[in-house]
Each structure stands twice: as C-alpha cells, then as structure tokens.
Amino acid sequence: MKKRDMNRDWIATARTLSEALPYLQRYDGAIVVIKFGGHAMGSDEAMETFARDVVLMQQVGVNPVIVHGGGPMINEMLEKLQIKSDFVNGKRVTDEATMEVVEMVLSGRVNKRIVQAINRQGGKAVGLSGKDASLITCDPADPALGLVGDPTDIKPDILHTLFADDAIPVIAPLGAGRNGETFNINGDTAAGAIAAALTADRLLLLTDVDGVRDATGAVVTELTAGQIRQMTADGTIAGGMIPKTETALTAIDGGVRAVVILDGRAPNATLLELYTEHGAGSLIRAN
C-alpha cells in the first residue's frame, strides 16, 4: 500500500472516532444486553470479532451483558449420544435426558468458549447460568414441552456486583424451578427478561437476518410497538421473526428503552448500531 493511501486510511479512522464521540457520551454507563447466537457463533473469526467489540464497548463505559444460545451445538451432541428429540408445534420437548445434554453444552462448551474469547481480547468475562445465585426462577412454559421454562423472577444483584468489578457477565439461558428443577429457556426470552430486570438501555438481538422487513421486503430501520403489533396482525411479520418481536415488546413493556433486531453475521454489527449515525437492523421503541 502506498504511503498516501495509508495516510488516507488513518485519517478516515480518526474521523470515525471523532464522529463517534456523541454516541460514546450517550452510552457512557449504559447497560446493554446482547443476545448472541445463530451463525454469528459459528466461526472462530466471528467469535473473535464479537469478543473484541464487547471488550471495546466496556472500555468506553458500557456495561455489556451477554446471553447466548447454542441450539446447533445441542443438536450435534444429542445426535452423537443418540438421544431422540420430539417436537411440539416446532418446539423441542426437553425431558430429563435432553436437559442433561442442554445444560452440559450451554453451561460448559458454549459458555466457556465465549468467556475465553472475551478474555483473550483483554476483557474480564465471567460465565454463569440463570441457576447461579438464583438469577432466574422459572415456571413451566408448557407441560407438553417438559423442562422448558418461562422466567418469572429475575434477581440481577449478582450482575450489578460484576459490573462494579469491571467484569462482563456471560449467561447461559437456564433457570431453576420452584421445586429445584432445571429449566431450559429460549435464549431470546432469557435475554429479554434480564434486560427488563436491569432496565437496560438497549437489548440487541443478534440474528441471521437484516432486521424486520415490511410488506415489500425492505428492512424497516425504526418501528414503534404499535407498528410491530399491526404488522404481526396483518401477517407482514411472520414465522421465526414473531418470537423475536414478541421478546422485544415484552422487554419494552418491562422498561427497556429500545430493542434492536440486527444481523449478527455482519462484521462489527454491535458497534455500528451503538456508535454510528447509520445504526444497524431494526430499532423498536415504545409508542
């Protein structure tokens, strides 16, 4: 690369940092909950980029919380152990044998991989599940689904303690039942409940799509809760996007300032959303 071109690159970098100042000030001290899953978790390169972005966010004053999924890894382990999965209305029935695998994969393999990636970038990540310190208490979501839970009580004190110690919580979506059972929780649902309990400034739902699309197929960059309800009622929002928008609405009703559904496969997606005028994905606010 010619020296002149290198100078242009450095000037562009400096200009980007300067233009980010209002956003850096805006999110100083903010709590941002990030649901991390899908193909964004698939490669070591994507994991490294995500981890670097999270550490950068914390360095400039954000308190990030990571809630992760792990469906493909669970499927892989169940198949390896020859444990058959049954489904009801497209949702996995979680019996005791399946629950053992879910907990092993989420709290072990997946959680620790994310923790290690963040720590390699200079962060101080702490892995835990919703069972730790009674963070998440659940009731059964549907008896037909077995050990699948809906969060009913969140105790975020442990997360505030970690913030005070400059640590980054990385949470596996598991919860404890009232009778000591372990429940599997949908990752988006867990992230939304935690964000509401923390009264988070932002909940970022990283997915494998660009955002919420209108009837023409174009991504809508900003929506209100009322528009989400209307688009769901008329069928514009359908399929796998419905659970994500439902999570967004529940989180906003619970006090989260805004929810963003964005493509986690895009490089630096979280930084683009928080620190640029352009943003990323679809931002959902209350009416």
Q: Determine, yes or no, domain membership for 18.
A: no
- Is 134 inside a domain boundary? yes
Question: So what's the pLDDT on residue 90?
Answer: 65
Q: What is the pLDDT of residues 89-99, one digit of tens each?
A: 667 789 999 99
If pLDDT is split at 50, 70 and 90, which confidence band does 279 have?
Answer: low
Domain assignment present for residue 9? The answer is no
What's the whole-model pTM score?
Answer: 0.90
Q: Is 26 a known ligand-binding residue?
A: no
Q: Does the annotation place 127 within a ligand binding site?
A: no
What integer pLDDT is reported at residue 91 of this predicted model? 74
90 annotated as ligand-binding: no
* For residue 113, pLDDT beyond 90: yes
Element (H, E) at 118: helix 111-120
Is 281 annotated as belonging to a binding site?
no
Q: What share of the chain is helix, strand, coil (3-state, %, to 5)?
A: 45, 25, 30
**16-46 confidence digits (pLDDT tens):** 666 767 666 777 889 999 999 866 676 788 8
For residue 67, the domain's CATH number is: 3.40.1160.10
Whether residue 12 is contained in a domain is answered as no
Over residues 142-162, the pLDDT tens digits come to: 999 999 999 999 999 999 999
Residue at 104 is within a domain: yes
**Residue 144 located in a structural domain:** yes
Q: Is residue 277 part of a domain?
A: yes
Range of the domain at 122: 26-285
Question: What sign does the dihedral 32-38-39-44 (CA atoms) show?
Answer: positive
DSSP string, 32-85: EEEEE-GGGGTSHHHHHHHHHHHHHHHHTT-EEEEEE--HHHHHHHHHHTT---
Tally the domains of the chain.
Answer: 1
